[in-house]
Amino acid sequence: MECLTEKDKIAATVNEAKEVSFREKTHALTTDEQINSFLDKILEFKQLLHKKTTEIETFCEKLEALTWFNKIDEDSLKLLNDLIAATRDWHNTLVRQFLKMNKLLEKGIATKDIKSFKHAIDDLRESADDLESVFFHLPQNHDFQETTKELQLV
């Protein structure tokens, strides 16, 4: 059995260092292509977030328009109740998605877009709450009924 000398061990270590150095030069961890790909993914994420935010905002406008309806029959109230439930379910799903983005916020990635998304999520919840109030809680309120009648006369 051959015993490695100190010189042999040093030579082996030198060879290993040369191989690793060469490999790192030829297969760098962060090539321009990899960096560009990473930045492209961030842009895709921001575009998707913008699309979702716009969709939520548009839907909120539709919900807000419904709050002005004033002659609602029982079947329509049932539909509104279903709409409120579906909107709250959607809201809960969006909140879970937002929570997964906290690491991006901490790193300063797409902060403006994520914050806009969060505001839209909050608006969605508020719109669902408004619908419920207008059609299920406030009609029982005498002051609300009087104000509604006055607004209809104007």
pLDDT digits (tens, 9 = 90+) for 137-146: 887 777 777 7
Q: What is the mean pLDDT of residues 67-72?
A: 87
> What distance in Å separates the CA atoms of residue 124 and residue 117, rounded to the nearest whole number?
11
Give domain limits for the chain.
51-154
Q: What is the mean pLDDT of residues 40-67?
A: 97
**Inter-residue contact 130 to 63 (CB < 8 Å):** yes
How much of the chain exceeds pLDDT 70, in percent?
A: 94
| Residue 84: count of CB within 10 angstroms of its CB | 19
What predicted TM-score, i.e. pTM, was given to this entire model? Answer: 0.75
* Residue 139: predicted pLDDT: 76
Sequential DSSP letters for 11-60: HHHHHHHHHHHHHHHHS-SS-HHHHHHHHHHHHHHHHHHHHHHHHHHHHH
* Residue 93: predicted pLDDT: 98
